[in-house]
Structure 1
Amino acid sequence: MGRLAGEDEVVDALVVGSGFGASVAAYRLAAAGRSVVVMERGRAYAPGDFARSPAQMGRNFWDPSEHLYGLFDAWTFRGLEGLVSSGLGGGSLIYANVLLRKDERWFVHESPLPGGGYEHWPLSRADLDPHYDAVERMLAATPYPYQDTPKTQAVERAAVALGMPATRPPLAVTFARAGEDPTPGRDLPAAGYGSIHGERGRRRTCSLCGECDLGCNTGAKNTLDHTYLSAAAAAQADVRTLHEVRGLRPLDGGGYRVTYVVHDPQAEGRTATRELPERHLVARRVVLGAGTFGTTFLLLRSRGSLPALGPALGTRFSGNGDLLTLLLGCTRDGAALSVDGGTGPVITTAVRTPDALDGDGAAGRGAYIEDAGFPGFLGWLVETAQLRTVARRSAAFAWQVVRNRTFAHGRSHISADLATLLGDGRLSAGSLPLLGMGRDVPDGRMSLRDGHLAVDWTTATSQAYFADLRERMAAIGAELGARLQDNPLWWAKRVVTVHPLGGAPVGRHAGEGVADAFGEVYGHRGLHVLDGAAMPGPVGANPALTIAAMADRACTRMLEQDWSWPRTAVHRAPAATPAVGGRSRASARPPRSVAFTERMTGAFALGEIDPQRGAALGRSVGSHLTFVLTITATDVEAFADDPLHRADATGHVDCDALGGRLDVERGWFELFVHPHGLAGRRMLYRLWLHDAGGSPLTLVGAKHVHDDAGLDVWADTTTLLVRVLAGHVPPPPADSPEQVEAVLTTLADDAVGAGPLATGAEVRGAGVLVIRPQDLARQLTTFRTTGGRGAATLATFGRLFLGELWDVYVDPRAARPTAGASR
Structure 2
Amino acid sequence: MTHLHYDVIIIGSGAGGGTVASRLAALAADGLKIAVLEAGPHFSKEYFTQREIEMFDLFESGGAFPSSDGAITASFGKAMGGSTIMYSGVTFRLPDSVCEQWSVEGLSSSDLKSRFEKLEKELHVIEPGKEMENDNNRLFKEGCEKIGISVKKILLNIKNCEQMGFCNLGCAHGNKQGTLSVQLPAASSAGVELIPNCKVTDLFEKRVRATICKAPPGSLPGALNEGIYEFHAKIIVLAGGTVGSSALLLKSDFKKDFPVLGSYITLHPAMTVYGIYPKKIKNYKGFPKIYYSSDYSNTPGYYLETAFYYPFITAKNLSLWGKDLKYAMNRYNNLMAIIILVHDDALADNKITLNRKNEPVLDYTLSDKSISAFCDAQAKASKIFFAAGCNEVVMPAAEKPLFSKGDLNGREPESFITPKTFIPNKMPVATAHLQGGCRMGRDRNDSVTDCWGKVHGKDWLYIADGSLFPQSSHVNPYLTIMTLADRVSERLIATKDQWMA
TM-score w.r.t. the length of structure 1 is 0.51
C-alpha change, 1:519 and 1:73, in structure 2 (3 Å) is farther
Q: Identify the match of residue 327 of structure 1 among 271, 274, 278.
A: 274
Q: Which residue matches 2:146?
A: 161
C-alpha change, 1:380 and 1:279, in structure 2 (3 Å) is closer
**Which one has the largest radius of gyration?**
1
Aligned-residue offset at 1:471: 2.9
C-alpha change, 1:474 and 1:526, in structure 2 (3 Å) is farther
Q: What is the SS of the residue equivalent to 2:75?
A: strand
Q: Which residue matches 1:540?
A: 474
Q: What is the SS of the residue equivalent to 2:430?
A: strand
Q: Which residue matches 2:36?
A: 38
Q: Which residue matches 2:335?
A: 431
Matched-pair contact (CA < 8 Å) for 1:442–1:537: yes
Counterpart-to-counterpart distance in 2, 1:317 and 1:364: 20
Aligned pairs (5 A) from 1:221-232: 221-232=176-187
1:521 aligns with 2:455: yes
Aligned pairs (5 A) from 1:186-585: 206-250=161-205, 256-265=206-215, 277-303=227-253, 306=254, 309-320=257-268, 322-330=269-277, 336=278, 338-356=280-298, 363-365=299-301, 367-375=302-310, 427-443=331-347, 444-450=350-356, 451-461=358-368, 462-482=370-390, 483-486=392-395, 490=424, 492=426, 495-565=429-499
C-alpha change, 1:381 and 1:447, in structure 2 (3 Å) is closer
C-alpha change, 1:563 and 1:248, in structure 2 (3 Å) is farther
Q: Identify the match of residue 113 of structure 2 among 121, 124, 129.
A: 129
Q: Which residue matches 1:22?
A: 17
Q: What is the SS of the residue equivalent to 1:153?
A: helix
Counterpart-to-counterpart distance in 1, 2:353 and 2:432: 19
Aligned-residue offset at 1:80: 1.9
Q: Identify the match of residue 149 of structure 1 among 118, 134, 138.
A: 134
Matched-pair contact (CA < 8 Å) for 1:99–1:545: yes
Q: What is the SS of the residue equivalent to 2:331?
A: helix
More strand by share: 1
One-letter amino acid matched to 1:279: Y
Deviations 1:227-264 (A, max 9, x none): 000111111101111111112111xxxxx011111011
Q: What is the SS of the residue equivalent to 1:48?
A: helix
Counterpart-to-counterpart distance in 1, 2:227 and 2:291: 48
Deviations 1:717-739 (A, max 9, x none): xxxxxxxxxxxxxxxxxxxxxxx
Q: Identify the match of residue 65 of structure 2 among 74, 79, 93.
A: 74
One-letter amino acid matched to 1:159: C
Counterpart-to-counterpart distance in 2, 1:479 and 1:207: 30
One-letter amino acid matched to 2:242: T
1:97 aligns with 2:89: yes
One-letter amino acid matched to 1:556: E
Q: Identify the match of residue 99 of structure 2 among 107, 112, 116.
A: 107
Matched-pair contact (CA < 8 Å) for 2:5–2:231: yes
One-letter amino acid matched to 1:456: D
Higher relative contact order (CA 8 A, sep 6+): 2
One-letter amino acid matched to 1:240: I
Aligned-residue offset at 1:477: 2.0
Matched-pair contact (CA < 8 Å) for 2:72–2:428: yes
Deviations 1:757-810 (A, max 9, x none): xxxxxxxxxxxxxxxxxxxxxxxxxxxxxxxxxxxxxxxxxxxxxxxxxxxxxx
One-letter amino acid matched to 1:466: F
Deviations 1:276-324 (A, max 9, x none): 8531111111111111111111111012xx477311201110112x322
Q: Which runs of 5+ in 1 are unaligned?
A: 1-6, 64-70, 110-118, 176-205, 251-255, 268-275, 331-335, 357-362, 393-422, 568-823
C-alpha change, 1:428 and 1:291, in structure 2 (3 Å) is same
Deviations 1:75-98 (A, max 9, x none): 343342211111111001111110
One-letter amino acid matched to 1:80: I
1:139 aligns with 2:73: no
Matched-pair contact (CA < 8 Å) for 1:446–1:455: yes
Measured on the aligned residues, the alpha-carbon RMSD in Å equals 3.2
Aligned-residue offset at 1:338: 4.5
One-letter amino acid matched to 1:132: F
One-letter amino acid matched to 1:208: Q
Deviations 1:643-680 (A, max 9, x none): xxxxxxxxxxxxxxxxxxxxxxxxxxxxxxxxxxxxxx
Instruction: State which drifts further: 145-154 or 19-28.
Output: 145-154
Matched-pair contact (CA < 8 Å) for 1:50–1:215: yes
Matched-pair contact (CA < 8 Å) for 1:258–1:282: yes
Aligned-residue offset at 1:473: 2.2
Aligned pairs (5 A) from 1:665-680: none
C-alpha change, 1:491 and 1:55, in structure 2 (3 Å) is closer
Counterpart-to-counterpart distance in 2, 1:277 and 1:210: 39
C-alpha change, 1:171 and 1:376, in structure 2 (3 Å) is farther
Matched-pair contact (CA < 8 Å) for 1:340–1:428: no
Q: Which residue matches 2:410?
A: none
One-letter amino acid matched to 2:480: T
One-letter amino acid matched to 2:189: A
Q: What is the SS of the residue equivalent to 1:77?
A: coil
Counterpart-to-counterpart distance in 2, 1:495 and 1:391: 21
Aligned-residue offset at 1:150: 1.3
Q: What is the SS of the residue equivalent to 2:373?
A: helix
Aligned length: 456
One-letter amino acid matched to 2:186: A
Aligned-residue identity in percent: 22
Aligned pairs (5 A) from 1:590-669: none
Counterpart-to-counterpart distance in 1, 2:154 and 2:234: 39
Counterpart-to-counterpart distance in 1, 2:237 and 2:57: 30
One-letter amino acid matched to 1:97: G
Counterpart-to-counterpart distance in 2, 1:143 and 1:434: 20
Instruction: State which drifts further: 220-229 or 76-85.
Output: 76-85
Counterpart-to-counterpart distance in 2, 1:323 and 1:73: 14
Q: Which residue matches 2:411?
A: none
Counterpart-to-counterpart distance in 2, 1:311 and 1:371: 39
Q: Which runs of 5+ in 2 are unaligned?
A: 218-225, 398-422
Matched-pair contact (CA < 8 Å) for 2:241–2:465: yes
Counterpart-to-counterpart distance in 1, 2:56 and 2:361: 26
Deviations 1:126-164 (A, max 9, x none): 221111112111211112223452122111222323333
Matched-pair contact (CA < 8 Å) for 1:341–1:373: yes
- Runs of 4+ deviating beyond 6 Å: 376-383, 389-392
One-letter amino acid matched to 1:498: A
Counterpart-to-counterpart distance in 2, 1:288 and 1:59: 22
Matched-pair contact (CA < 8 Å) for 1:164–1:352: no
